[in-house]
């Protein structure tokens, strides 16, 4: 027997036929040497942590509670090419989607997984996406041979063994089957056989020959795809969004949700000094009695560590440099201390990193010099370890969201902050986000990509239907949230960024004030922008900075010509997509407003022109 009496008993207590079937199938397929069932008990949780150390997936660092994990040199980001959606039938997605007929995909991945756990230990655990005992909770069963994956999930998600008991035998849960495959020096060897197959027919995921959490941790981006499908069938939203409490006037707190493509400032917005964080990556949004309520699907952060330093990210830096449970991944380790890019410290010229033993000047297989740490190196930490955790992080009823922020990354078009003219204009703004590619995705960096709602990589429903669901969702609320766009990456003519890293605090506080009726705004063709006086005051009060009229004019002039170029790109994209009428009307209206402005005022128009 690969599973002991005691472990079997833990499973039987769940009284769930589907759980037993899935496990039997996984055992028959992967052929592990041993199966261990993990409950919510401290003992079981500690067993996983110890196992990750014992099997070499993690090692201890000098500071209490800190460990390091390495992914292989070719396993440092989400693998889009090998991530495929297994579908019943091919549909017109409106976007580029890597789909595959379900029986073909299942056959392909199961062949790779046949016997993949021979000689290894299989871990079986249970989690809740969203707070437990809540109208939002979605249960998930994880089977993996990676203690690092399970350990990460224990930090990032609410344990769900007890939650599975509450299922009362129902099969309404997601299943994730993962194997890191054959390991060499602790990292996945057969990268060519890496597959991440999301089976939308059976609500389950197969992922194999990978360790990077965006590929391996079932509950993160893999569960997210299944949740998007479910949300679209049940009239709620599963979004690539942070949730935060923005502190306006003393005693006033307004909850914001925000969608930003990878590495566009999402975590650092959610972590803004003086504010509170509910979540930094994935949210479920529901209409509860006419109100927009949302929860963080997670309870931890898998964050980019680059540029976390005392100046730019003081709260995270503090949390990462004091004793508590943290997994560092793909940093440099020297003398049991972690080093990362942009940490604001001198870095040793040798150590261990994602390439193995590292020394300054080391080159990769293509002759390219290997940096001491990876750009997509990360930390994994529980939110309640942070000084700015919001008191409603685990509230089963969620928080009431009053504003949504869509953040893109472009150097030449979008103003730093603007308020959308209406809910449907806001949905349009979200659906037309553009961003440059980053290191979180394997492949080329620095290409401008269209990323609707920062969710392109995860859309498992046709784009038109997804947008229609958004429109409907907002229209069904008593009051739709106000939508803002942000762009922290606007550059001036000299090619330099126009804003400091902390300026985002001013943009967010301005939006919070607007939601609460505090500021007037200037209506422009692309939305409402702040007035100089209000920003001046906010800059002074929050950053002790004397914001000048010249800065304001450069940042908030509407670059009409550039916006029209963007609208050209959008018109091209959407010309071949089946979109709702009201969305196409927003696009046409946007173009018409911009053209009228261009005809009258030219390519770049100062705010004062619109103020008149
Ligand atoms: C992202 O890339 O959007 C992330 C990290 O949040 S990953 O887990 O790789 O998706
Ligand atoms: Mn993300």
On whether residue 563 sits in a domain, the answer given is yes
On whether residue 116 sits in a domain, the answer given is yes
Question: Are 228 and 245 part of one and the same domain?
Answer: no
To the nearest whole percent, how much of the chain has pLDDT over 90? 93
The residue ranking higher by pLDDT, 261 or 405, is 405
User: Whole-model pTM?
Assistant: 0.96
Question: Are 548 and 403 part of one and the same domain?
Answer: yes
- Tell me which ligand sits closest to the C-alpha of residue 213: 1
Q: How far is CA 503 from CA 209, 263, 392, 507, in A?
A: 41, 17, 26, 7
Question: Are 355 and 218 part of one and the same domain?
Answer: no
pLDDT value at residue 262? 80
Task: Report pLDDT digits (tens) over 358-384.
Answer: 999 999 999 999 999 999 999 999 999
pLDDT value at residue 549? 98
Closest CA to 420 of 471, 465, 362, 485: 485
Question: Are 19 and 109 part of one and the same domain?
Answer: yes
**CATH of residue 463:** 3.90.228.20
Ligand 1 pocket test: which of 157, 212, 221, 300 has the largest number of ligand atoms within 8 Å of its C-beta?
221
Question: Are 515 and 588 part of one and the same domain?
Answer: yes
Q: How far is CA 273 from CA 321, 477, 503, 584, in A?
A: 18, 31, 11, 39
Residues with CB under 5 A from ligand 2 (ion): 281
**CATH of residue 320:** 2.170.8.10
Q: Is the pLDDT of residue 446 over 70?
A: no
* C-alpha span between 604 and 534 (Å, rounded): 22
* C-alpha span between 214 and 304 (Å, rounded): 12
- Tell me which ligand sits closest to the C-alpha of residue 217: 1
Question: What does residue 293 show for φ and ψ, rounded to 5 degrees?
Answer: -110, 145
Dist. CA 549 → ligand 2 center (Å): 36
On whether residue 65 sits in a domain, the answer given is no
Dist. CA 153 → ligand 1 center (Å): 14
| Full residue range of the structural domain in which residue 514 is found | 239-299+393-611
Q: What is the largest CA-CA distance in the chain?
A: 80
Question: Are 375 and 397 part of one and the same domain?
Answer: no
Q: State how far Cα 504 lies from the chain centre.
A: 19
Q: What separation, in Å, do the N-terminal and C-terminal C-alpha atoms of the chain show?
A: 80
On whether residue 21 sits in a domain, the answer given is yes
Closest CA to 486 of 272, 253, 266: 266
Task: Report pLDDT digits (tens) over 53-99.
Answer: 999 999 999 999 999 999 999 999 999 999 999 999 999 999 889 99
On whether residue 258 sits in a domain, the answer given is yes
Which residues have a catalytic role annotated?
264
On whether residue 64 sits in a domain, the answer given is no
Question: Are 177 and 308 part of one and the same domain?
Answer: no
On whether residue 408 sits in a domain, the answer given is yes
Number of structural domains the chain divides into: 3
**CATH of residue 179:** 3.40.449.10
On whether residue 603 sits in a domain, the answer given is yes
Confidence of residue 438 (pLDDT cuts 50, 70, 90): low
pLDDT value at residue 448? 85
Last residue of a domain, one of 318, 350, 385: 385
Question: Are 19 and 94 part of one and the same domain?
Answer: yes
Q: Is the pLDDT of residue 400 over 70?
A: yes
Last residue of a domain, one of 350, 385, 420: 385
């Amino acid at each position: 027997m690969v599973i002991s009496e005691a472990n079997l008993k833990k499973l039987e207590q769940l009284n769930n036929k589907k759980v037993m079937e899935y496990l039997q199938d996984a055992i028959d397929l992967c052929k592990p040497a041993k199966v261990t069932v993990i409950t919510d008990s401290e003992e079981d949780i500690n067993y996983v942590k110890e196992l990750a150390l014992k099997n070499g997936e993690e090692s201890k660092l000098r500071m209490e509670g800190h460990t390091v994990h390495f992914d292989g040199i070719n396993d440092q980001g989400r693998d889009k090419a090998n991530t495929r959606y297994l579908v019943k039938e091919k549909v017109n997605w409106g976007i580029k989607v890597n789909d595959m007929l379900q029986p073909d995909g299942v056959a392909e991945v199961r062949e790779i997984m046949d016997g993949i756990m021979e000689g290894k230990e299989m871990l079986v655990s249970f989690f809740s996406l969203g707070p437990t005992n809540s109208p939002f909770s979605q249960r998930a069963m994880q089977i993996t041979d990676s203690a690092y994956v399970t350990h990460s999930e224990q930090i990032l998600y609410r344990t769900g063994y007890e939650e599975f008991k509450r299922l009362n035998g129902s099969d309404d849960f997601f299943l994730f089957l993962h194997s890191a495959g054959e390991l060499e020096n602790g990292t996945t060897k057969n990268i060519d056989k890496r597959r991440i197959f999301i089976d939308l027919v059976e609500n389950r995921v197969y992922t194999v020959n990978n360790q990077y959490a965006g590929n391996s941790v079932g509950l993160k981006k893999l569960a997210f795809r299944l949740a998007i499908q479910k949300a679209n069938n049940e009239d709620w939203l599963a979004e690539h969004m942070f949730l935060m409490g923005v502190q306006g006037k003393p005693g006033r707190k307004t909850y914001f949700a925000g969608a930003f493509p990878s590495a566009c400032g999402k975590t650092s917005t959610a972590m803004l000094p003086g504010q509170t964080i509910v979540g930094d990556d994935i949210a479920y949004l529901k209409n509860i009695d006419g109100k927009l309520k949302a929860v963080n699907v997670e309870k931890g952060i898998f964050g980019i560590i680059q540029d976390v330093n005392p100046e730019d990210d003081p709260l995270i830096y503090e949390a990462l440099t004091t004793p508590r449970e943290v997994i560092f991944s793909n940093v440099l380790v020297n003398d049991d201390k972690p080093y990362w890019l942009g940490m604001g410290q001198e870095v040793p010229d040798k150590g261990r990193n994602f390439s193995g033993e590292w020394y300054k000047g080391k080159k990769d297989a293509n002759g390219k010099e290997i940096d001491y740490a990876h750009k997509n190196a990360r930390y994994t930490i529980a939110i309640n370890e942070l000084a700015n955790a919001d008191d409603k992080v685990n509230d089963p009823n969620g928080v009431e969201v009053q504003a949504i922020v869509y953040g893109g990354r472009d150097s030449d078009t979008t103003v730093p902050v603007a308020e959308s003219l209406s809910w449907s204009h806001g949905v349009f703004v979200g659906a037309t986000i553009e961003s440059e590619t980053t290191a979180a995705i394997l492949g080329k960096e620095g290409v401008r990509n269209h990323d609707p709602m920062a969710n392109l990589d995860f859309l498992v429903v046709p784009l038109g239907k997804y947008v229609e669901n958004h429109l409907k969702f907002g229209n069904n609320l008593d009051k739709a949230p106000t939508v803002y766009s942000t762009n922290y990456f606007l550059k001036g003519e000299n090619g330099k960024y126009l804003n400091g890293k902390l300026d985002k605090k001013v943009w967010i506080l301005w939006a919070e004030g607007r939601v609460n009726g505090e500021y007037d705004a200037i209506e422009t063709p692309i939305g409402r922008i702040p007035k100089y006086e209000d920003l001046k005051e906010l800059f002074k009060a929050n950053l002790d900075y004397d914001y000048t009229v010249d800065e304001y004019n450069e940042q908030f002039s509407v670059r009409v010509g550039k916006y029209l170029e963007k609208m050209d790109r959008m018109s091209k994209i959407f010309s071949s997509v089946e979109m709702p009428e009201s969305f196409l009307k927003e696009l046409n209206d946007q173009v018409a407003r911009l053209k009228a402005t261009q005809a009258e005022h030219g390519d770049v128009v100062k705010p004062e022109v619109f103020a008149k």
